[in-house]
A and B are shown apart, each in its own frame.
Chain A
Amino acid sequence: MKIITKFVIYCYTIVLFTIGALLISFALGKIDAYDLTVLLKSLDTVNARLATGLTGLLIILIGFVFSQIMFSRIKREKTIAFQTASGEVLVALNAVEDLIRKLTGDIEGIKEARPNVIASKKGIEINLRLALNADVHIPEFTGKVQELIKERIQEILGIDEAITVKIFVTKILAKDRPRNKKEAEEDTSVPFRGYKR
């Protein structure tokens, strides 16, 4: 961890701790309301106002940097990382989801797929919500899909980590049946049909 990151985290903790301690002291009656009034009145000078304003600005700045650090950490957790000789390679979980969407799009029998990939210390967990055609044998079909996704993701990402694929069948849809000639002819609209003067 960088020194500046550590410094910001310490500062933020101290600021929050101080505010919390002051509030608790006030609640317990350790700080008198009159003392607070006196303190606030003593701050009513140009220099004191300037110092208070700068302190407020500093607190906002520390809060902003702290949030940036936290967001970057969250962002980091949304990636699969591995190290190569030249540097680090980060694969966004969104990229893995794109890959699964494409993979499932090629499988006949799947109407719609909504993947959600979670990376943790235990490995990679893929939650896949599927809309299937009505003519598939669900246990056999989903088993094959699980195997296929597991194999392909392991192969494409080149990782040895455990991959768990959970499938939720959310919809069973009727297979699109090809329209026969008669139906097609009936649907054909003739221009000005039924038009009378």
Chain B
Amino acid sequence: MDQNVKSELGTIRIHKKVISSITTNAAKEVDGVADLGYSLKSFVSKLFGLNLGGIIDVNIDNNNEVTISVPIIVSYGYNLPEVAAKVQENVRKMIEKSTELNIKQIDVNIQAVEKEAKK
């Protein structure tokens, strides 16, 4: 399901992939995020060349509210709750700025701590 935004001239449809893409960039911008994490769906997509969706999980409910789940890998030396909170904040800010959608929830899943030292 895509997200619909109504304008005076008609309806603007925003694909989930767009939200996913903005989320990816916003999460990677945050200091302390080494990379995005992984998901079984993205692994299977990559393996079989299917289009099952990316790493970011985007759900839109009946009230047109968006729930996003972001798996991340954090660099060693950073405070994990602080990095997670910054990711939530930046993702919310960037999505609201770019799409004016209603964000219900942004779940952050810290999957690993990268061994590289803090820059």
Contact = CB atoms under 8 A, between A and B. Distances in A.
A21 interface: no
Interface stretch (B11-19, B20-28, B43-51, B104-112): B104-112
Contact of B108 (A90, A99, A101): A90
Contacts of A155: 79
A82 B81 CA distance: 9
B110 A90 contact: yes
A102 interface: yes
Interface in B96-119: 103, 105-115
5 contacts: A79-B109, A87-B67, A88-B105, A95-B73, A158-B80
B88 A95 contact: no
B82 interface: yes
Interface residues of A, number: 21
B89 interface: yes
Interface of B: 67-68, 73-74, 76, 78-82, 84-85, 88-89, 92, 103, 105-115
A72 to B, nearest CB: 11
B79 A158 contact: yes
Contacts of A84: 81, 84-85, 88
A158 B84 CA distance: 11
B81 A157 contact: yes
A102 B115 contact: yes
A98 interface: yes
A91 interface: yes
B79 A87 contact: no
A91 B110 contact: yes
A86 B105 contact: yes
The residue in B73, B89, B112, B115 that gathers the most chain A C-beta atoms within 10 A of its C-beta is B112
A92 to B, nearest CB: 5
B81 A98 contact: no
A156 interface: yes
A106 to B, nearest CB: 10
A88 B85 CA distance: 10
Given A84-B85, A95-B112, A90 B107 contact: yes
Interface in A110-146: none
B89 A86 contact: yes
B80 A87 contact: no
A52 interface: no
Q: 3 shortest A-B CB distances, which residue pairs?
A: A86-B88, A98-B113, A87-B105
Given A86-B106, A98-B114, 14 more contacts: A84-B84, A86-B88, A86-B103, A88-B107, A89-B85, A89-B110, A90-B108, A92-B111, A95-B111, A95-B112, A98-B115, A99-B113, A156-B79, A158-B81
